[in-house]
Amino acid sequence: MRGKNKIPSVKQADTCHIGIDLLGSDVSPQKLLEAIVAFRPTLKPSVQLTLFGQKEHFERFDALTSDGIVLHPVQELIAMEDDPLHAIRRKKKSSLYLGIQMLKEGHLDAFISTGNTGALMAGSKLLLSTLPGIDRPALLTLLPTRTTDVAVLDVGANTSYKTKHLVQFALMGVAFQKSRGVTTPKVGLLNIGSEERKGTPELRAAYEAIRKLSENSDFTFVGNIEARAVFHGGVDVLVTDGFTGNIFLKTAEGIGIVVLEELEASTQENAVALKQALASLRQHLHYAEYPGALLCGVNGIVIKCHGNGTSQSVLASITSAVRLVEHHFLQSIIMHK
């Protein structure tokens, strides 16, 4: 069992317990359950999934045919519209609260939720606290570009920031990309120009601090990156504050979807090849396919899926969570400090 603030012990690679909150999103819990049951055989036998839902969601479930899946009925639900702090303080029998608590107590190695983002962040900070050397958790999301995927953080956990937070975000992003097999991640700082002296005083100080840190480290600092250049690829970790990162992410989502919708609307029904190209591009651009956002910096692996996502985003999150557990993501953040 893991106590608060204690550095997590190194995980044995032969067991992996993932908790999944079926409640609080737009997707029906039954649909999520069905998708997860069908997906389970593609995972290693050592992976165990604990599903949090309400009793009625589990009625049609056949436990006999579903090795490696455990049901955990709960009595309360934190809704999307609930006030995050209030909900976390009052609803201690909710799937979201119980999942984080089991993570803290070591019964789970990772916890995935499609529910209330604010409550998930507040609960994680409150119950798990931050890792040694990390002052503030950040939301990390993986974004497709023309070439490789870029890990962007923070995309919305904090609206104010200091230089040291940006430096910590860089290190967490590096640990994340290393868990994905990127041996020497390229780190860039999101800015309004590529020249060294661009942007705010905090950004100029962060530029210098990250550059210095990269000298004896296992990542490369590529300097300031303009928003436009990010989509060409070539940067593995994009460091930014939560306000700017959120604007960046939502602008990308917004215009990507508008472009696709305009094209789909203007396409004749018989243009089969185009339909296929559009469907493939939609899959490439649509962030529901992506494993949501990782709340990194807390003492536990917590993943937030898009509330309006499909079951697909939850399945991608399971794969992502297993990989983070097996690659000792939390330890690798601490080792960098």
Residues lying near its own copies in the complex (CB under 8 A) = 145-146, 156, 159-160, 190, 192, 199-200, 226-232, 242-244, 246-263, 266-268, 271, 273-274, 277-278, 280-281, 284-285
Phi/psi of residue 255, nearest 5 degrees: -75, -35
- Rounded to a whole number of angstroms, the minimum distance from the CB of residue 115 to its own copies is 17
- Rounded to a whole number of angstroms, the minimum distance from the CB of residue 210 to its own copies is 19
Q: How far is CA 315 from the centre of its chain?
A: 13
β-pairing, 69-73 vs 110-113, is unpaired
Which residue, 43 or 205, is less far from its own copies as judged by CB?
205
Phi/psi of residue 303, nearest 5 degrees: -120, 130
Which residue, 2 or 198, is less far from its own copies as judged by CB?
198
Q: H/E element holding 244?
A: helix 242-265
- Rounded to a whole number of angstroms, the minimum distance from the CB of residue 116 to its own copies is 13
Which residue, 218 or 261, is less far from its own copies as judged by CB?
261
**CA 292 – CA 305 distance, rounded (Å):** 4
- Rounded to a whole number of angstroms, the minimum distance from the CB of residue 249 to its own copies is 8
Cα–Cα nearest to 325, from 69, 23, 9, 1: 9
DSSP class of 130: B
Which residue, 205 or 229, is less far from its own copies as judged by CB?
229
Report CA torsion sign: 107, 112, 116, 118: positive
Q: Which residues contact 332 (CB under 8 A, 6 or more apart)?
A: 175, 178, 179
- Rounded to a whole number of angstroms, the minimum distance from the CB of residue 205 to its own copies is 14
Which residue, 37 or 229, is less far from its own copies as judged by CB?
229
3-state secondary structure of 334: helix
- Rounded to a whole number of angstroms, the minimum distance from the CB of residue 291 to its own copies is 19
Which residue, 56 or 195, is less far from its own copies as judged by CB?
195
Which residue, 10 or 273, is less far from its own copies as judged by CB?
273
Report CA torsion sign: 29, 129, 119, 206: negative
Say which residue the tokens 């976390």 belong to. 88
8 A C-beta contact, residue 246 and residue 203: no
**CA 185 – CA 254 distance, rounded (Å):** 28
- Rounded to a whole number of angstroms, the minimum distance from the CB of residue 89 to its own copies is 19
